Structure 1
């Protein structure tokens, strides 16, 4: 089957939950600015953007996009460049004069959109992919609504334990970005009492390999939160597919991921969310605003909808038999 959840399945699933998604209206000649925190090559961002284009290109809407490309500057701690990226987005907005601005992930909020929250003379804003508490940016506001990123930590643990009921000690790996740290706060609060979770921040590829090489003797399972910003000895970001190739080949623990690409790249399973889901929901909100609805009447939403994904290759490698009932429940399988 597909490497990631097929878009057609997600569209049907989302349409049932959010009936406004397919609505059209009088949006001829309107403008939408899309501002992404990261670059086009990041899978999450690419999926959000593909969904937005799919939603909005069917209408006579003029689109413009800014990729702030903050990943590298986050790694370097270059606050000057992060601020400059936000300033470019602001200048683009002021020149383009959009009716709606769609912003993805936290950096686009912190360095660009938050300054306009509650400003009745500013455009309408729709955010997605936000890990921090939206209130930190002044959201929601009279001109701001959007989609909060909520990791299905508890649900994913239940899924993992259906495959390995004896799991008690789990190692959680993450990077040091504020969005990752924000996710951990909510995960800690919802960890079951009989699970001992160890949270380790990993920022280098060497450290990643060192930790995982010894994890089999200290833990029962692995949770992979983020692996896209690991750097090598020269300070260069190691391609995510290389990180997961090594992980697949060298780690014998069952693992859980929280995004479709994580399970596709080599995690055993996950109750996941996708960039396509975020983009589709944000695009639907933007269309509702362009069709005349007030932003204040469109509530923000979370996106954990119970999309179960299983990696059959990893299950076979680990000699894990997946019950037929669970196979029928799964939204997508990786073969």
Structure 2
């Protein structure tokens, strides 16, 4: 390892690189855009671990923590720290999760001679935005079950005529909305908003309460008290206020949204993303195949979720057949 990387590697260790038990059959570096304890990240980790269990690989995980710390300087530094881990650890395969890991790290490996194979997952943008696919890069794109979630709500409230979608201003949310705007939906979505500040968020929710029959929510984890704050607000604080003050139901596209109080949703499953990416990594290590031989794929499994506590609070009757069919019911 060259001396110019040593300080960055030390920083990376303090920032939260986690190492599994090693058996030296192969090396996998997982680079997560966000932090441990964030439900989506934990689910991806669970899926990867399931795919790689008993494979005997040495696995390290680096958490860029760009959901809580959102300054450009932090994102750039985190990408540099991840690159330093590639230099020191020399993995056979790198699994990169979510868009910031691609933008600030993985795209620098795409097509680079001598670079490890890269398998991405949880990517909301067009992979071409990051130079993917490449000779050494493939992966799993994330696309929300947007129209299906709205169709689910329509069965609960057939009288609904108009919806509004509200999500934070993260790169993940912005790219997700690009996809959602192109979809045909059973109920029209009249407006799409990406508030940055807490004041903007509160106004968006208040306006939607007066002008829509429900709010479709994707993410709420990068809302800040002020636009130039480097640290995001606690997501629970944002969602608790939202559920308490929104006069119409909130429906969600991710698992934690329903867990935090949204009425229902058909959610992307991070475990599926992690499992598919882990299996690709295992096949790359165990064969002479290259990443370019694996077409970019899309995760398809959605978790049907219903929050009956919220339904009771809102005095909404959820059809029994829907409750029976749901994968997750919160009581």
Pair in the same fold by TM > 0.5: yes
Aligned counterpart for 2:193 among listed residues 182, 187, 200: 200
Q: 2:275 matched to 1:284?
A: no
Deviation of the 1:193 alpha carbon: 7.7
Aligned counterpart for 1:40 among listed residues 10, 13, 36: 36
Deviation of the 1:328 alpha carbon: 2.5
Q: Which stretches in structure 1 are left out of the alignment for 5+ residues?
A: 1-26
Q: Which residue of 1 aligns with 2:134?
A: 141
* 1:150-170 CA-partner distances (Å, limit 9, x unpaired): 011111111110111121211
How far apart in 2 are the matches of 1:212 and 1:225? 13
Deviation larger for 97-106 or 191-200 = 191-200
Aligned counterpart for 2:51 among listed residues 40, 51, 55: 55
Q: 2:96 matched to 1:100?
A: no
Q: 2:215 matched to 1:219?
A: no
How far apart in 2 are the matches of 1:227 and 1:56? 31
* 1:257-294 CA-partner distances (Å, limit 9, x unpaired): 11111111111111111222211211111111122143
Secondary structure class of the residue paired with 1:94: helix
Q: 2:264 matched to 1:264?
A: no
Secondary structure class of the residue paired with 1:38: coil
Larger RCO (CA under 8 A, 6+ residues apart): 1
Cα separation, partners in 2 of 1:136 and 1:127, compared to 1, 3 Å: same
How far apart in 1 are the matches of 2:164 and 2:309? 22
How far apart in 1 are the matches of 2:302 and 2:249? 20
Q: Which residue of 1 aligns with 2:8?
A: none
Q: Which stretches in structure 2 are left out of the alignment for 5+ residues?
A: 1-22
How far apart in 1 are the matches of 2:170 and 2:238? 18
How far apart in 1 are the matches of 2:81 and 2:278? 23
Deviation larger for 274-283 or 96-105 = 274-283
Aligned counterpart for 1:294 among listed residues 270, 290, 293: 290
Deviation of the 1:299 alpha carbon: 2.2
* 1:229-270 CA-partner distances (Å, limit 9, x unpaired): 112259442211222222222223122111111111111111
Aligned counterpart for 1:230 among listed residues 198, 203, 223: 223
* 1:146-198 CA-partner distances (Å, limit 9, x unpaired): 11010111111111101111212111111222221111111111143851421
Q: Which residue of 1 aligns with 2:151?
A: 158
TM-score scaled by length of structure 2: 0.86
Secondary structure class of the residue paired with 2:222: coil
TM-score scaled by length of structure 1: 0.85
Secondary structure class of the residue paired with 2:211: coil
Cα separation, partners in 2 of 1:306 and 1:92, compared to 1, 3 Å: closer
> Alignment length, in residue pairs?
306
RMSD of aligned alpha carbons? 2.0
